[in-house]
Amino acid sequence: MGGIEREKVGPLTLRAWALLTALAVWALYLLTLAPTVGFWDASEYVTTAHILGLPHPPGNPFFVVVGRAWDVLTGFTGLPVALRINALGATFSAGASLFWFLAVVRIVGRFRENRHEVLVAAVAAVWIGATAFTVWTQSNLNEKVYPLSMFVVALVSYLAMVWMERADTVRGNRLLLLIALVLGLGWANHTMSMLPGLALAAFVLLHRWRAALNPRVLGPAVALLAVGYSLQFLFVPIRSVQNPIIDEADPECPTLASAVTPRRIDDYYGQSKLAVACEALALSLIRDQYKPPPTTQRQAPLSAQYANYWQYFDWQWARSLPPGGRVAVSMLFLFLALVGLWTHLRKGRKTFVYAGTLLFTVTLLLVYYLNFRYGYSLYWEEAPLLDAHEVRERDYFFIIGFQLWGIYAGLGLAALWGRWTASREPSALPAGFGPRHRKAAALLALGLIPFLFNFGQADRTGDHAARNWAYNMLQSVEPYAVLFTYGDNDTFPLWYMQEVEGLRRDVTVIVQSYLGTDWYHKQLRRLTKPCEPGESPEDSPTTVVCQRPFDPATAADLYAEMPATPPTRSAIPPPDTGIDDLSQVMSIPEDSTYELTDRITGSLREGDVLSSADLRVFQIARQALGDRPVYFAATARLVWDRWQLQPHLVRQGLAFKLAEGPLEASGPLVDLSEYLRGSGFPAWHDRVRTGQLLEDVFLVDDILAWDAWPDPSTRSNIPTMYYLAHASQGISEELSGDPDAAEWAYRRANRFARLADSD
């Protein structure tokens, strides 16, 4: 059993077949690879890998370091940065397929003497697992940390199978140490990499418990686990001290010792958690800014959480089919997986301890542990409030489980194929592919169902939507603008465009949801302060220095020709204004008015509650007005609505400019209050500026060529923003007496409306 990978099946060894299968998977991912970034965290990870920044807590340092190394090493190709880092995700996923193939060979080879059947089982398992919908889309576009975690889990699983054959040897002990190091490095990428921990513990203890508890093994294993994870304690605070442009949570430490000294810290709910003495790093490690509740405090009924998991499971095998047909296919693959599980349990109980425990961990146990709110697209009648639901679909958290379900479906398919073809006489079992095997080959075609029915939905070759959204948003605003966004999804693509492609770096993008933290506005203060003599942000383009200059070469023509006066003060008020010491909430005791400027006032009602983020939006807008333009992204309705700023906002493309004085309908300014009443969107519309942006600047032709919007979490949002911009422009042109321009805008608006309603 020690060298089953070296055994030949046909012209190649099983190891060569593994490599060939992994190359086929890699080719599939590259064939469907996205050319640029996607929405959500995909843009953030590409950007932080390129500039060696720190993404959202806890910071994913292993991915950032590996991603930066890959970025440098592949630079000679001349391909775009985003495309190259997307290819890194595809490479990690293909590597996971390689090691799962070898693991399956080790597992099935213990109870299948016919090596051709072992080969069929491994190919079917890996191919189905690799073409599961979430596995596929995470491999060719989305969050890059998950393919790396898949690679770690697959490698650890293979090493565990090898260890079983050498458990009583010195090499076996060395394998345990290697597993510990790999897990530590994976942990420094994402906690998902630690999911095999329970399965490994059960496997090792039940198989050779003395080896696991041997001090000569246990001590070094713990040490190597810590060495791998040490990137989290060393790289993160060291890089944070250098003030990278993206430095989320600002996990700086006064000393290196404080970064590695263990200490317990209370989270938002008062629960004590093990972290480190450095408070900033400790808060990052426990993800304090997200305030994750304890698992005992359920965010939704457990039944709803498992129903959401079933929804995601149902997506994996035939995503392009309508719900009725898709459920039938899902039941088929669940049946095949159960056959694979039963076959493994009956014939390979020793290895089933590992694989079965891993499957339990990444399905039932993980659903309970993650404790998600109601699904993004489920239970809206039972829970109509937006805050009761996840902000997006969370299928990617279960990616390891979906790959494992696919692997077991492949094992089940191979088991049925083998049972169908086996002779009644054991001695007559063919050594290779006999006539009965060939007659039953059609059964194996079931393994192509995920490939065939997921391809259309998983193919991202023409997906420029997120990149072009960011381009269009940044080009909507004037030089040196402050641009308020709402959250991650409408911000990360903008970061990518600024930091990777160098577009409109003069614009200060402010994420409202981050303003509630203690660190974010302080970073913005440094980023927007006027440069001192001798200071230049170009000297260190990946770190915070001072206000970055307006570059006409990266701006739309209508802004490139506009006089651009650099700001004279930071966009963030100084500390003596009290902005740094705001409480979490402020309750309004009685009806009152506020004054943003002497020309912009509003009312507050008794009982209104303003968060520190709301208050900082107000103070930043007041500080910036008169020195630089202030804009709100079209997606930031909740930000401007908090201060009832609609009467003072004017649409310019995908953003709304905060006017410094009274507005009246004249020239290019059109009042659409009669048409937008009740929508919550500002009624003032700059017909000329928006028309120039929509017709001459915006990049939307590729989106308009789509039959459906691929991402369910942005389908009702992004196309709707485009629809409103074009529909408002159409009304404005019609009111201004230009029916041809109005028809053009209406026609495009209708196409965006269809995309928003597509499924």
pLDDT in tens, 715-758: 888 999 999 999 999 999 999 999 999 999 999 999 999 998 87
User: What does the pLDDT read at residue 434?
Assistant: 58
Helices (H) and strands (E) in the chain, counts: 32, 15
3-state secondary structure of 126: helix
Of the listed ranges 37-51, 571-585, 631-645, the one predicted with least confidence: 571-585
User: What does the pLDDT read at residue 590?
Assistant: 82
User: What does the pLDDT read at residue 759?
Assistant: 66
Q: Which residue has the higher pLDDT, 756 or 54?
A: 54
Residue boundaries of the structural domains of the chain: 4-252+293-458, 256-292, 481-487+502-643+656-663
In what helix (H) or strand (E) does residue 386 lie, and over which residues does it extend?
A: none
C-alpha count within 13 angstroms, C-beta hemisphere, residue 731: 17
Nearest Cα to 644, choosing from 594, 607, 598, 606?
594
Of the listed ranges 104-108, 514-518, 546-550, the one predicted with least confidence: 514-518
User: What does the pLDDT read at residue 440?
Assistant: 66
| CA 458-462-464 angle, 5° bins | 105
542 — phi, psi (to 5°)? Answer: -100, 0
CA distances from 472 to 361, 460, 490, 742 (A): 43, 20, 12, 21
How many whole angstroms separate alpha carbon 646 and alpha carbon 207?
67
DSSP class per residue in 263-299: EEEE-TTS-EEEEES-HHHHHHHTTGGG-PPPTTS-S
User: What does the pLDDT read at residue 641?
Assistant: 87
CA distances from 144 to 85, 415, 510, 544 (A): 8, 34, 24, 25
User: What does the pLDDT read at residue 436?
Assistant: 59
β-strand 630-633 against 482-485: which pairing, if any? parallel
Percent of all residues in the chain with a pLDDT value above 90, rounded to a whole number: 69
Average the pLDDT over 267-277 and give the result: 84
Is the pLDDT assigned to residue 433 strictly greater than 60? no
| CA 42-711-149 angle, 5° bins | 40
- The answer to whether 531 and 568 have CB atoms below 8 angstroms apart is no
Name residue 631's beta-bridge partners.
483, 657
CA distances from 2 to 8, 21, 122, 431 (A): 14, 22, 18, 21
Residues 215-245 pLDDT 10s:
888 999 999 999 999 999 999 999 999 999 9
What is the residue whose two structure tokens read 């008169």?
626
User: What does the pLDDT read at residue 438?
Assistant: 60
Is the pLDDT assigned to residue 89 strictly greater than 80? yes
3-state secondary structure of 656: strand
Average the pLDDT over 269-273 and give the result: 83
Is the pLDDT assigned to residue 399 strictly greater than 50? yes
Sequence-separated (6 or more) residues with CB below 8 Å from residue 56: 41, 44, 248, 249, 488
Q: What band does 443 get if pLDDT is binned at 50, 70 and 90?
A: confident
Percent of all residues in the chain with a pLDDT value above 70, rounded to a whole number: 97
Q: What band does 426 get if pLDDT is binned at 50, 70 and 90?
A: very low
Sequence-separated (6 or more) residues with CB below 8 Å from residue 188: 60, 61, 62, 228, 229, 230, 231, 232
Number of other CB atoms surrounding residue 605 within 10 Å:
9
Q: Which residue has the higher pLDDT, 295 or 693?
A: 693
Q: What band does 444 get if pLDDT is binned at 50, 70 and 90?
A: confident
Q: What is Dmax (Cα atoms) for the chain?
A: 96
User: What does the pLDDT read at residue 296?
Assistant: 86
User: For residue 247, how far is the Cα from the chain centroid?
Assistant: 17
Is the pLDDT assigned to residue 14 strictly greater than 80? yes
3-state secondary structure of 262: strand
User: What does the pLDDT read at residue 581?
Assistant: 74
Query: Mean pLDDT over all residues of the chain?
Result: 91
User: For residue 753, how far is the Cα from the chain centroid?
Assistant: 26
Nearest Cα to 611, choosing from 486, 517, 490, 680?
517
CA distances from 686 to 173, 395, 484, 507, 650 (A): 71, 41, 19, 20, 6
Sequence-separated (6 or more) residues with CB below 8 Å from residue 202: 353, 354, 357
Q: Which residue has the higher pLDDT, 432 or 458?
A: 458
Q: What band does 432 get if pLDDT is binned at 50, 70 and 90?
A: low
Average the pLDDT over 488-501 and give the result: 94
Is the pLDDT assigned to residue 503 strictly greater than 80? yes
- Give percent helix, percent strand, percent coil of the chain, each to the nearest 5: 60, 10, 35
Sequence-separated (6 or more) residues with CB below 8 Å from residue 682: 640, 645, 646, 647, 649, 650, 651, 656, 676
Q: Which residue has the higher pLDDT, 145 or 489?
A: 145
The pTM of the full predicted model, rounded to 2 decimals, is 0.93
User: What does the pLDDT read at residue 713?
Assistant: 82
Average the pLDDT over 639-645 and give the result: 88
CA distances from 161 to 3, 361, 673 (A): 12, 18, 68
Nearest Cα to 617, choosing from 630, 604, 606?
630
Name residue 650's beta-bridge partners.
657, 684
User: For residue 592, how far is the Cα from the chain centroid?
Assistant: 42
User: Exposed (0-12), middle (13-18) or buried (19+): which is 336, by Cβ within 10 Å?
Assistant: buried
Is the pLDDT assigned to residue 424 strictly greater than 60? no
Q: Which residue has the higher pLDDT, 440 or 415?
A: 415
Cis peptide before 237 (omega within 30 of 0): no
User: For residue 574, how far is the Cα from the chain centroid?
Assistant: 34
How many whole angstroms separate alpha carbon 566 and alpha carbon 341?
66
C-alpha count within 13 angstroms, C-beta hemisphere, residue 674: 5
Query: What tokens does 587 get?
Result: 């309750």
Q: What band does 425 get if pLDDT is binned at 50, 70 and 90?
A: very low
Is the pLDDT assigned to residue 1 strictly greater than 60? no
Average the pLDDT over 678-697 and give the result: 92
User: What does the pLDDT read at residue 677?
Assistant: 83
Average the pLDDT over 336-362 and give the result: 96
- The answer to whether 154 and 96 have CB atoms below 8 angstroms apart is yes
Residues 605-640 pLDDT 10s:
888 888 888 989 999 999 999 999 999 999 998 898
How many whole angstroms separate alpha carbon 727 and alpha carbon 725?
6
